[in-house]
Structure 1
Amino acid sequence: MEMEEMASLIGVSVPVFRFLLCFVASIPTSFFHRFVPGGAIGKHLYAALTGAVLSYLSFGLSSNMHFLVSIIISYGSMLFCRKRCGLITFLLAMGYLIGCHVYYMSGDAWKEGGIDATGSMMVITLKVISCAINYNDGLLKEENLRESQKKNRLIKLPSFIEYVGYCLCCGSHFAGPVYEMKDYLDWTERKGIWKKTKKPSPSPFGATLKVVLQAAFCMAIYLYLVPRYPLSTFSDPIYKHSGFMDRLMYQYMCSFTARWKYYFIWSVSEASMILSGLGFSGWTNYSPPTPRWARAKNVDILGVEFTKSSVEIPLAWNIHVSTWLRHYVYDRLVQKGKKPGFFQLLATQTVSAVWHGLYPGYIIFFVQSALMISGSRAIYRWQCSVSSNKRVLKKLLMLSNFAYSVLVLNYSSLGFMILGLNETIKVYGSVYYVGSIAPVVLIILGNIIRPKPSTSRARKGQ
């Protein structure tokens, strides 16, 4: 069967089908990493070469050239200007990524069924920035560092082959998850939690099978829903003449449908990371202990779909990018001795928007996300202030936070999918901007009605 025929069977273009083949091939490629001879050097070479080959087969030679630019920018800054390497890499690597976003107009390509290497560049950009910042942190006194900085900082400059292996290993540069250079080196050299002991190494096969079945289920759901809820319907007269609730429900289904594509992609990445062993994050405390694979997990499907609060969404969606944004943007904008506020949240969401691309829809979505989270925090503070004997009121506030989060998340997500400014505003306007007005109203009310938490435990939770 020709590649064109196979691509048409699942309703994707040939470039996307080629990418999917290479992406799925990262699973067996990662499995064989554990059998590579030659010690750590052999494994670094294998990681670098297999990553480069999969990228070449997916996107062509230009992809590796783009990756190399970001890698050289970061490595050169660490080599020649350690005191400022984190800031230099952040500005130059992020700037180069933005330039590629503008040049390739990747958002338009993805909407039309195409694909390019900018998605992979996004992951590599986060990796090179975090590595440079951690090498920068290696100069600082340990007592002045946060726990995450102490854990991830680098005292010694990695070799160039270690660095390239880190950037391209396990096909994780295709769609994540992002992980730290310190973890990659420990895993490759069998140190830390990967150190060989009398205890048998955790078997990855059960967890991998579970995630592969999850990926297949997610793809089946997506293929079933996507022809039934296309974005093109927003310009259809049927949509324009439907009622408010029908429009709101259609917006929900469009966002719901799109998420299953990401669930599939991250499930494949998770399988790859688990099989390689890099996804291992230690053993559970209960008896008998079972292996945890938190480093591989990039999404909690039930956590997203049944979130109790918008604040919890970053803990369940694109988990490792959310962690990266917290460690390398949010936390570092907070002045010592002061609490973070809306500025840190908005700045973090803006960096995330620019990282995705310069389309207005991305900017709108992430600004909306900052408002959404702030509005949810207001409801949560009211919920905490209600005494435990008023269970009905407490439950109503919990239900309100859930309903609010579902409404605003699915409304806001359309900007991420539509991308264009006028088109996004029209779709938001079709439901009277309800998802934009609700967070603003809650933020204002939250500043007017300032309840005191009923217990110290509630204060600690917030």
Structure 2
Amino acid sequence: MGLEMEGMAAAIGVSVPVLRFLLCFAATIPTGLLWRAVPSAAGRHLYAGITGATLSYLSFGATSNLLFVVPMAFGYLAMLLCRRLAGLITFLGAFGFLIACHMYYMSGDAWKEGGIDATGALMVLTLKIISCAINYSDGMLKEEGLRDAQKKYRLAKLPSLIEYFGYCLCCGSHFAGPVYEMKDYLEYTERKGIWASPTPSLILPTLRALVQAGACMGLYLYLSPQFPLSRFSEPLYYEWGFWHRLFYQYMSGFTARWKYYFIWSLSEAAIIISGLGFSGWSDSSPPKAKWDRAKNVDVLGVELARSAVQLPLVWNIQVSTWLRYYVYERLVQKGKKPGFLQLLGTQTVSAVWHGLYPGYIIFFVQSALMINGSKVIYRWQQAVSNPVFHAILVFLNFSYTLMVLNYSCIGFQVLSFNETLASYQSVYYIGTIVPIVVVLLGYVIKPARPVKPKARKAE
């Protein structure tokens, strides 16, 4: 069996640990299909937890489930013993444990060399545990003054251990997301809410996700040998001219994204086929079934984004939503508007969640700067009435987003401080300087706000 796996891994150009992970990941699709057929709510909770733990064991080894038990137990004890502060306590404790694991395993280096460990699954689990505890704390608050997300997801009572076990380790999302809410999970397993009626046909949306996954993996396998990350540390790269190096940075980021598109598309298929991915009906006539709960990426939305502000809405969608609900909105004081500091705080939490590598930190700080600059260009767009100038600014925002995104994401890929700075320096820090210049220009060129028409007095 070992020799067979080595041959299969060599054939597709991955390591044996990565192949084992991919096989277990693919197994979440038939596992998800069987999950929806389990007859009782208690059975579905047990099935979700046991299959998730089993696939984790097969993929990462016995120690993986021991890693998961620590934050799970911490979060549940916090909810049990100190409901009012359970969200804050769990946030600090679960994130602290995740950071310790990042430091111990230094997974980024292992992943670059073809290894894999359970910290990726632990990252997803951490977000689910924190949101569950925060929503249980929110259940004590009066509804007046709460944000829409708080009203929608707050928990009136403590989930049982079996419910918590199934939610945390549910195999469909355990490996790579998507992150979803405890309240949605409970309604799905108990066949309440939108799941009280029979779920619409799963065949076409599942096939669409699988075809997308196959196409993304095929493109990644084709491109990755042509644009290896190792090129950034080779003398050849620094012999190229500026435009050649900038093009290589673009292609490097473009190539790397297809790997994530594949993983998220496969995960989307697993969640859809279980039925949990169903998110209601559209307002169109006739109404169409929506599967947004499982959607983690809009491929064309990322590659053709007309503004950097759009990227969190189309990339790692469910984690971006989690960051908005549980970090960004909660950093904003009542009566005040969010600004750059809230954005920077959110991006910093996202960076730490990914790991403690300098490349992650630099990338997410760059992202905050990139988004702020894109907002400035967008304000200029809105203020221009001339269609030609408006079209120029739209194209400028698109080009700005394309350039700064692919420049910035090199840090996310190479991880080390020296390699990140060397790659940025090779293109004269253009992706850092341009956003700073745009933001500063935004203080000088302040377009007038559109005048809102006054409501006519009733005659």
Which amino acid in the other structure matches residue 431 of structure 2?
G
Partner of 1:188: 189
Once residues 172 and 279 of structure 2 are traced to their aligned partners in structure 1, the CA distance between those partners, rounded to angstroms, is: 19
- Runs of 4+ deviating beyond 6 Å: none
How many matched pairs? 451
Using the size of structure 1 for normalisation, the TM-score is 0.97
The CA deviation at 1:285 is 1.7
Once residues 234 and 110 of structure 2 are traced to their aligned partners in structure 1, the CA distance between those partners, rounded to angstroms, is: 22
Once residues 170 and 452 of structure 1 are traced to their aligned partners in structure 2, the CA distance between those partners, rounded to angstroms, is: 52
Partner of 2:28: 26
Q: Deviations over 1:351-376 (max 9, x none)?
A: 00000000000000000000000000
Preserved CA contact (<8 Å) 1:170 1:276: no
Indicate the larger mover: 342-351 or 164-173: 164-173
The CA deviation at 1:338 is 0.3
Once residues 266 and 106 of structure 2 are traced to their aligned partners in structure 1, the CA distance between those partners, rounded to angstroms, is: 26
Partner of 1:460: none
Matched, 1:210 2:208: yes
Once residues 235 and 392 of structure 1 are traced to their aligned partners in structure 2, the CA distance between those partners, rounded to angstroms, is: 43
Once residues 127 and 236 of structure 1 are traced to their aligned partners in structure 2, the CA distance between those partners, rounded to angstroms, is: 41
Preserved CA contact (<8 Å) 1:350 1:367: yes
Residues 33-432 of structure 1: pairs in structure 2 closer than 5 A: 33-37=35-39, 39-196=40-197, 200-387=198-385, 390-432=386-428
The CA deviation at 1:168 is 1.2
Preserved CA contact (<8 Å) 2:308 2:371: yes
The CA deviation at 1:297 is 0.4
Once residues 278 and 343 of structure 1 are traced to their aligned partners in structure 2, the CA distance between those partners, rounded to angstroms, is: 36
Once residues 252 and 183 of structure 1 are traced to their aligned partners in structure 2, the CA distance between those partners, rounded to angstroms, is: 38
Which amino acid in the other structure matches residue 3 of structure 1?
M
Once residues 171 and 21 of structure 1 are traced to their aligned partners in structure 2, the CA distance between those partners, rounded to angstroms, is: 13
The CA deviation at 1:62 is 0.6
State which of 412, 420, 439 in structure 2 corresponds to 1:443: 439
Which amino acid in the other structure matches residue 93 of structure 1?
A
The CA deviation at 1:77 is 0.2
Q: Secondary structure at the match of 2:289?
A: coil
Partner of 2:10: 8
Once residues 255 and 201 of structure 2 are traced to their aligned partners in structure 1, the CA distance between those partners, rounded to angstroms, is: 33
Preserved CA contact (<8 Å) 1:233 1:239: yes
Q: Deviations over 1:72-126 (max 9, x none)?
A: 0100000001111000000000000000000000000011110000000000000
Which amino acid in the other structure matches residue 46 of structure 1?
Y
**Amino-acid identity (%):** 67
Q: Deviations over 1:293-342 (max 9, x none)?
A: 00010000000000010000000000000000000000000000000000
Once residues 116 and 317 of structure 1 are traced to their aligned partners in structure 2, the CA distance between those partners, rounded to angstroms, is: 23
Preserved CA contact (<8 Å) 1:248 1:431: yes
Once residues 132 and 285 of structure 2 are traced to their aligned partners in structure 1, the CA distance between those partners, rounded to angstroms, is: 36
The CA deviation at 1:201 is 2.7
Q: Deviations over 1:265-317 (max 9, x none)?
A: 00000000100110100112222222100001000000000001000000000
Preserved CA contact (<8 Å) 1:222 1:260: yes
Q: Deviations over 1:130-175 (max 9, x none)?
A: 0000000000000121000000000100001100100111330100
Preserved CA contact (<8 Å) 1:54 1:171: no
The CA deviation at 1:12 is 0.6
Which amino acid in the other structure matches residue 360 of structure 1?
P
Partner of 2:457: none
Preserved CA contact (<8 Å) 1:281 1:294: yes
The CA deviation at 1:236 is 2.0
RMSD value, Cα: 1.0
Partner of 2:456: none
Q: Secondary structure at the match of 1:172?
A: helix
Once residues 65 and 336 of structure 1 are traced to their aligned partners in structure 2, the CA distance between those partners, rounded to angstroms, is: 40
Preserved CA contact (<8 Å) 1:177 1:298: yes
Preserved CA contact (<8 Å) 2:55 2:171: no
The CA deviation at 1:456 is 4.0
Q: Which runs of 5+ in 2 are unaligned?
A: 454-459
Matched, 1:452 2:454: no
Q: Deviations over 1:33-87 (max 9, x none)?
A: 11113x1100000000000000000001111001110100100000001111000
Distance verdict in 2 for CA 1:31–1:456, change over 3 Å: farther
Preserved CA contact (<8 Å) 2:53 2:169: yes
Q: Deviations over 1:170-202 (max 9, x none)?
A: 330100000000000000001111112xxx530
Q: Deviations over 1:190-226 (max 9, x none)?
A: 1111112xxx530111110111011000000000000
Once residues 212 and 175 of structure 1 are traced to their aligned partners in structure 2, the CA distance between those partners, rounded to angstroms, is: 16
Once residues 375 and 125 of structure 1 are traced to their aligned partners in structure 2, the CA distance between those partners, rounded to angstroms, is: 31
Which amino acid in the other structure matches residue 37 of structure 2?
F
Using the size of structure 2 for normalisation, the TM-score is 0.97
Preserved CA contact (<8 Å) 1:270 1:279: yes
Q: Deviations over 1:18-44 (max 9, x none)?
A: 00000000001001011113x110000
Preserved CA contact (<8 Å) 1:193 1:282: yes
Q: Which runs of 5+ in 1 are unaligned?
A: 458-462
Preserved CA contact (<8 Å) 1:94 1:355: yes
Q: Deviations over 1:236-260 (max 9, x none)?
A: 2221111100000000000000000
